[in-house]
Structure 1
Amino acid sequence: MSCVYDFSLPGLTGGTVDLSAWRGKPMLIVNTASKCGFTPQYEGLQALWSETGHELVVLGVPSNDFGRQEPGDATDIATFCSRNYGVSFPMTEKCHVKGAQATPLFRWLSAQGGFLAHPRWNFFKYVIDRQGRLSTWFSSLTSPDSHRMRDAVSRVILTD
């Protein structure tokens, strides 16, 4: 695969999340979990999705790979995200994001970013430019509201 738009994943509420539908749009891809200390970052992710007028595609990828912090099924995840954080950005079915079982998307993201870009906990964030290339990544510690994250998002939105 040569760019992020070459991937698709099962959707949280059915169907397929085909990343090619957003070709030419910058993206922020985040592995998420409902029972994590970083879960309140959903609020900042939703704010980015809303504030950019969906010009930045925020994609949540629930995973139970770290601390078993996403134990629910698709209905549980969708209800939790909507009820607690008003999440309206696209989300995929629960996926593996690390190790040999990682989805092809996360294997590609890790390869593009190098060893340190492998998700080491929930809420790793991958900023994708308009050409579908990894621009930068952030660990769980970097909030979606942080100056560093906002700058990285602004750069990919403003760059053609």
Structure 2
Amino acid sequence: MNWRNGESEARDRLIALVYEDLRLSASRQLGGSQPSSLRPTALVHEAFLKLTDGTTVPWQSRAHFMAVAARAMRQVAIDHARRKAAAKRDGGLRITLQDCKNETVAEDLDVLDLHVALERLAGIHPEKARIVEMHYFGGMSSEEIAEVTGRATITIKRGWRTARAWLHQQMVGP
């Protein structure tokens, strides 16, 4: 494929290949929290709009695309939660902090609280924050994250476990 050259037809084929993975990831992260809040399909579609806003990104691989899509999905979820919270001060978007194997780590969490905690983590351990973003928001496997970051898979798995525990402690308490 010529996605590396920004060819739109190749980009469209890549999107078709990863769409279901991203939708499942969005479904896991939203956890069916509130019927009126952001739906997984809408989250993925809005993320795709961000990804295809006219700028040409030379995708290096499927994993690279998934990493960028993870960041876009995070931005969409945060923007949605901010709009909703502004409209209704009490009603932020609730999500669940899960890993890609549907293991629930914490009860419903506010996406804005997760964003703040991730920003704090990024200040201390930027690589761990990026791992969380790719794993959680992008649904990427440890192997895919290792490919994007150039790190060993075991390092990614350790980073995910450490970051997840740190976020849980920050957001829910000991």
TM-score normalised to structure 1 length:
0.29
Which structure has the greater CA radius of gyration?
Answer: 2
TM-score normalised to structure 2 length:
0.28
Q: Which structure carries more relative contact order (alpha carbon 8 Å, separation 6+)?
A: 1
Q: Which has the higher helix share?
A: 2
